[in-house]
Amino acid sequence: MTSPRRTFAIISHPDAGKTTLTEKLLVAGGAIHLAGEVKARGQNRRARSDWMKIEQQRGISVTSSVMTFERDGITFNLLDTPGHEDFSEDTYRTLTAVDSAVMVIDAAKGIEPQTRKLFEVCRLRSVPIITFVNKVDREGRPVFELLDEIADMLALDVCPMSWPIGMGGEFEGVMELATGKVSRPEGDSRTFQGKIDTGVTLSDKITEEIELAGIGYPTFDAEAYRNGDLTPVYFGSALKDFGVTDLIDALADYAPPPRPQPAEPAPVSPDEPDVTGFIFKVQANMDPNHRDRIAFMRLCSGTFKRGMKLTPSGSGKPIAVHSPILFFAQNREIADEAFPGDIIGIPNHGTLRVGDTLAEKPGVRFTGLPNFAPEILRRVILKDPTKTKQLRKALDDMAEEGVTQVFYPEIGSNWIIGVVGQLQLEVLLSRLDAEYKVAAGLEHAPFDTARWVSADEAADLKAFTDINRAAMAKDRDGNPVFLAKTAWEVGYVADRYPKVKFAATRER
């Protein structure tokens, strides 16, 4: 009998406390014994690869990873999403591989831009969200104001599950609203994990707040939460280890186990016996000495066993998965078995691509992994023309990883790359140099945005592309892309060609 799975991600704005919370979750799950190891491990890994210097310089984490911990018989798979403002498609795609998310909010700041962006991605897929309002040990904004902001800005019902008794200097603990049990700070560092329910005298102000909260917000409704219409809200302090176990209990009690996944010809239920999964991330050159890459697969159905043959939808040629990797907090372990909701890493030499379905019996195809319209386009200028082949390989590799998108114009020889955030441009140049030994520069492209074009009738598409040849390009897979100067131009052209569809994302 396998243990239940909870596969989730943490979404937050930088500095809200995601790293600290991750550490505390892993400690609580017994995965690591000393807080701080998450960062230490990260540094170790960073040292291995040149391009990751950018991470070091900026003190940010560009790569995502997978961490697993267990508690009370439940296996938690935590997929880390990069937390920097300039995030890539990687971040979005990671969210397609989870069943729920924890949204971490800084009590002093409320909803910040990136929290909101990531939340919108969750909403697209109805990913249910548990909210953790962090840093209550510091002076924060009034609790009602925070709750109302979440409700208004995200158009979501909020249901406080706990209540902070004061914040900052006046912080006296957190009350679990359903039971009235209070966790209080203890000792010099004022941390506390357990709960006590005696001897608590609340000030009139807090008593009144709690009464008002009982009237003003909906009661918890598990179904509304699972549909993504309501978020239960917990208050705590990752740093002081307050409310962290409550959060794990909430994930255990309410967060959905692996859900059926959207697929063609029909959604795939986790109970189906045949093994299926999809690749949501590919990481190349984790070790510059080995041109290997790891494809991250989310298992959607069946029991995966080591050595099993799976057929990728991309190449159609079965591969035997002999050395899959399960990602544990301390080190990678070779997986013998994995279950729906688990993530396994599959080493390969470029055969596996983001968006690929892998299946024991071919014929299934998971849908809904989007390619996003790039927000920044740049022309790639090659300094040494004899390196064209290497450049093409590098751009294709990175497109495959989802670091950048690449467009090959119909006219002209300068390839164009598209990214969602500025940081990706730096990553690209640094990796071209370090991993592919290609010196290149970037210059402004005459275009600012891209749309994938299609039409029901081939003739309609041809009529469009013939006239707009100077703005046409092909993506890495040969799909036609229209490059435009502005979003306004896209609208203008779309009006003139009603039979052509312009898509900002391309589902793979």
List contacts with ligand GDP (CB under 6 A).
12, 14-20, 83, 134-135, 137-138, 237-240
- Kindly tell me which of 150 and 239 has the beta carbon lying closer to ligand GDP: 239
Report how far residue 101's alpha carbon sits from residue 225's, in angstroms, rounded to the nearest whole number: 11
Report how far residue 428's alpha carbon sits from residue 450's, in angstroms, rounded to the nearest whole number: 19
CB 384 within 8 A of CB 302: no
- Kindly tell me which of 10 and 335 has the beta carbon lying closer to ligand GDP: 10
- Kindly tell me which of 7 and 19 has the beta carbon lying closer to ligand GDP: 19
Residue 80 annotated as part of some ligand binding site = yes
- Kindly tell me which of 239 and 428 has the beta carbon lying closer to ligand GDP: 239
Q: Which residues are paired to 143 by β-bridges? A: none
SS3 319: strand
- Kindly tell me which of 14 and 262 has the beta carbon lying closer to ligand GDP: 14
Residue 14 annotated as part of some ligand binding site = yes
CA angle 4–6–9, rounded 5-degree value: 170
- Kindly tell me which of 237 and 261 has the beta carbon lying closer to ligand GDP: 237
CB of 155 to ligand GDP, least distance (A): 24
CB of 42 to ligand GDP, least distance (A): 11
Residue 271 annotated as part of some ligand binding site = no
Q: What is the DSSP string of 143-187?
A: HHHHHHHHHHHHT-EEEESEEEES-GGG--EEEETTT--EE--BT
CB of 465 to ligand GDP, least distance (A): 44
Residue 83 annotated as part of some ligand binding site = yes
CA dihedral 36, 38, 44, 48 (to 10 degrees): -160
SS3 134: strand
Residue 81 annotated as part of some ligand binding site = yes
CB of 428 to ligand GDP, least distance (A): 23
Residue 315 annotated as part of some ligand binding site = no
Looking at residue 130, its amino acid is I
Residue 444 annotated as part of some ligand binding site = no
- Kindly tell me which of 297 and 329 has the beta carbon lying closer to ligand GDP: 329
Task: Compute how many other C-beta atoms are within 10 angstroms of the C-beta atom of residue 493.
Answer: 19
Q: CA dist 185 to 22, 26, 173, 175, 236, Å?
A: 21, 21, 6, 12, 11
Report how far residue 485's alpha carbon sits from residue 475's, in angstroms, rounded to the nearest whole number: 18
Residue 15 annotated as part of some ligand binding site = yes
Output the CA torsion sign for 55, 59, 61, 67. positive
Residue 134 annotated as part of some ligand binding site = yes
Q: Which residues contact 199 (CB under 8 A, 6 or more apart)?
A: none
Residue 84 annotated as part of some ligand binding site = yes
CB of 254 to ligand GDP, least distance (A): 22
CB of 19 to ligand GDP, least distance (A): 3
> Which of 146, 132, 136 lies closest to 184 in space, CA to CA?
136
- Kindly tell me which of 58 and 469 has the beta carbon lying closer to ligand GDP: 58
- Kindly tell me which of 11 and 74 has the beta carbon lying closer to ligand GDP: 11
Residue 314 annotated as part of some ligand binding site = no
Burial class of residue 408 (count of CB atoms within 10 Å of its CB; 0-12, 13-18, 19+): middle
CB of 426 to ligand GDP, least distance (A): 19
Report how far residue 109's alpha carbon sits from residue 105's, in angstroms, rounded to the nearest whole number: 7
Task: Compute how many other C-beta atoms are within 10 angstroms of the C-beta atom of residue 344.
Answer: 24
Residue 110 annotated as part of some ligand binding site = no
Pairing of strands 157-160, 230-235: parallel
Tokens of 262: 């959207």
- Kindly tell me which of 244 and 373 has the beta carbon lying closer to ligand GDP: 244
CB of 3 to ligand GDP, least distance (A): 28
Residue pointed to by tokens 């609203």: 177
CB of 134 to ligand GDP, least distance (A): 5
CB of 355 to ligand GDP, least distance (A): 28
Report how far residue 125's alpha carbon sits from residue 203's, in angstroms, rounded to the nearest whole number: 42
Residue 135 annotated as part of some ligand binding site = yes
SS3 483: strand
Alpha carbons within 13 A on the beta-carbon side of 143: 28
- Please give the annotated binding residues for GTP, written as ranges: 12-19, 80-84, 134-137
- Please give the annotated binding residues, written as ranges: 12-19, 80-84, 134-137
